[in-house]
Amino acid sequence: MENKPNNSPEEFSIRLKAGKHRTYFFDVKRTKQNDAFIVLTESRLLPNGTYEKSKLHLYREDFNRFLEALDETFSYIENKADEPLDNPIDQTTDNNPSTQFDLTWD
């Protein structure tokens, strides 16, 4: 991982190389109202030599819910991913009060 110098358009940036053909970027940018937000970018090298990029913009008001959903997804993979899927169920939880998380964003 490498941090980008502060003179770039991004306020903060980390580059994460993931194998030979994928790179992830974690950038902090600001809106016109000066609110910080995160841009997650996946850059993939295609067989024809060009790059394909996918971006996700994550705003401050969604940080906690995003982390909760990510934590739940990681837990699912760690605990159940190796079990066969006899009857796949949509695990979508939208503000489910019975689900407890200990992730916070300051």
Helix, strand, coil percent values for the chain (each to nearest 5): 20, 35, 45
Pairing label, strands 36-45, 51-59? antiparallel
Q: Is residue 70 part of a domain?
A: no
Residue range of the domain that includes 35:
2-62
**27: how many CB neighbours lie within 10 A of its CB?**
20
pLDDT given at position 1? 56
Please give the chain's pLDDT, 106 residues, in tens.
555 444 447 899 999 999 899 999 999 999 999 999 999 999 999 999 999 999 999 999 999 999 999 999 999 888 887 766 555 555 555 544 444 444 555 4
Is the dihedral angle over the CA atoms 6, 42, 17, 80 positive or is it negative? Answer: positive
| Structural domain count of the chain | 1
Q: What is this structure's pTM? A: 0.66
Residue 7 resides in a domain: yes
How far apart are the C-alpha atoms of 106 and 99, rounded to whole Å?
21
96, part of any domain: no
